[in-house]
Amino acid sequence: MNFIVSSTALFRHLQSIGGVLSTSNTLPILDNFLFSISDNQLTISASDLETTMRTVMEVEATESGNVAIPAKMLLDVLKNLPDQPLTFKVDPANFAIEMAYDNGKSKMNGFNGDDFPKLPPLEKGTSIKISGEIISRAISKALFAAGNDDLRPVMSGMYCQFSPSDITFVATDAHKLVRYRRTDSQAQGGSAFILPKKPLNLLKSNLRGDEEVLVEYSDANAVFTFGDLVMNCRLIDGKYPNYEAVIPKENPNVLIVDRAQFLGAIKRVSIFANKTTHQVKLKLAGSELHISAEDIDFANESNERLTCNYDGVDMEIAFNSRFLLEMLGNIDTAEVKMAMSEPSRAGLLMPNGGDNEHEDILMLVMPVMLNR
């Protein structure tokens, strides 16, 4: 099995799927890329059993076949090679690989490609086409809110909900929640599944924005096809919590404030907050917002005052500053709106205004008990 390929093109394709590779594989074969050749087309696969990515590229080849090539060694070689044709020669008897280039050649041991895990077929799948821009924006706006608790795996991923009127992505860790909804993309019927973090991050790093993504999914797996990439991932099994039930419906106290000023003030004030609770207190009265924090143990305290637009009763409410900072950092409008009901109930943070009428971002943050 011999083939010729451009070193730069090969490196680019390997980089796009290399994120799947895990440092703690249970099967040694998964430390390799699977190279399969058929009709001058090279299909390269990488897998960690939960997620598999493959990419296709044109090569010059005289015969078909497959071989598993050590991933780290191959990437390290290509990283240090200038753009030039590479000739691969694979000995079918012992899978020894010879790689020849302009000023030298390298040899390494490959493995039998037939030992590489086979992808399960997608049984009774449903499909939907979504713009890559919508998926990557949903991931960047919501995924930070997903949990890391192994005891609650359903909350460690992102909930994807498709309906004939909109598509919704939700992430929560029980302290904060983000719901990202788009009305300019719909599905034929209603369905939902939970995607793990790793494939979501791989999608985000590979999506080019304007391309269309074909999403096919069954009860156990989802397959994303876009450009020259296909990603197959196992879904998180379980029932997602009823997130709509935790979003307060009546929030008469509404604060509108400049996002950059609010973010800057919380960054500065939170330096003086208690290192365990990270509590910052918001005191709302008239058109003034007082932000304060204190750490009684070390006699540290800080407070700042911002001009705002507030419609509601005077109130004091406290939040974990790290959650507020994450949320404000993931909103890109000039102003933000915060809707609250009372100091013991969740506050809702939303962009105020925005260019896209089809986009609805809602962020929920649970308050912390006020220090009296």
**120 inside domain:** no
- Domain identity same for 314 and 226: no
Question: Which tokens hold the place of 309?
Answer: 């637009």
- Domain identity same for 236 and 284: no
Please give the average per-residue pLDDT across 72-88, as a whole number: 96
pLDDT (tens digit per residue) in 32-57: 999 999 999 999 999 999 999 999 99
pLDDT for 265: 98
Mean pLDDT of the chain: 94
**74 inside domain:** yes
- Domain identity same for 145 and 201: yes
- Domain identity same for 222 and 283: no
- Domain identity same for 79 and 179: no
pLDDT band of residue 150 (cuts 50, 70, 90) is confident
Q: Would you tell me how many other CB atoms lie within 10 Å of the CB of residue 42?
A: 21
**310 inside domain:** yes
345 — alpha (psi -120 to 50), left (phi > 0) or beta? beta
Please give the average per-residue pLDDT across 275-289, as a whole number: 95
Number of domain units in the chain: 3
pLDDT for 159: 98
**188 inside domain:** yes
pLDDT (tens digit per residue) in 176-223: 999 999 999 888 888 999 999 999 999 999 998 789 999 999 999 999
* More reliable by pLDDT, 372 or 229: 229
pLDDT (tens digit per residue) in 229-244: 999 999 999 999 999 9
Give the structural domain span for 97. 2-115
Q: Nearest 5 degrees, angle CA 262-CA 266-CA 269?
A: 135
Answer whether residue 120 shows pLDDT above 90: no
- Domain identity same for 160 and 146: yes
pTM of the model: 0.92
Answer whether residue 372 shows pLDDT above 60: no
What CATH number does the domain containing 10 carry?
3.10.150.10
- Domain identity same for 57 and 95: yes
Question: Which tokens hold the place of 84?
Answer: 């030039």
- Domain identity same for 7 and 103: yes
pLDDT for 371: 60
Question: Which tokens hold the place of 131?
Answer: 């713009």
- Domain identity same for 109 and 168: no
Please give the average per-residue pLDDT across 271-289, as a whole number: 95
**121 inside domain:** no
**348 inside domain:** yes
- Domain identity same for 90 and 130: no
CB–CB of 302/293 below 8 Å?
yes
**13 inside domain:** yes
| Final residue before a domain boundary, out of 88, 115, 142 | 115
What whole-number percentage of the chain has pLDDT above 90?
89
| Final residue before a domain boundary, out of 242, 262, 288 | 242
Please give the average per-residue pLDDT across 55-75, as a whole number: 95
**255 inside domain:** yes
- Domain identity same for 9 and 82: yes
| Final residue before a domain boundary, out of 193, 210, 242 | 242
pLDDT for 125: 78
CA–CA dist 179, 193 (Å, integer): 15
- Domain identity same for 85 and 136: no
CA–CA dist 46, 10 (Å, integer): 14
Poorest-pLDDT segment among 72-76, 119-123, 247-251, 326-330: 119-123
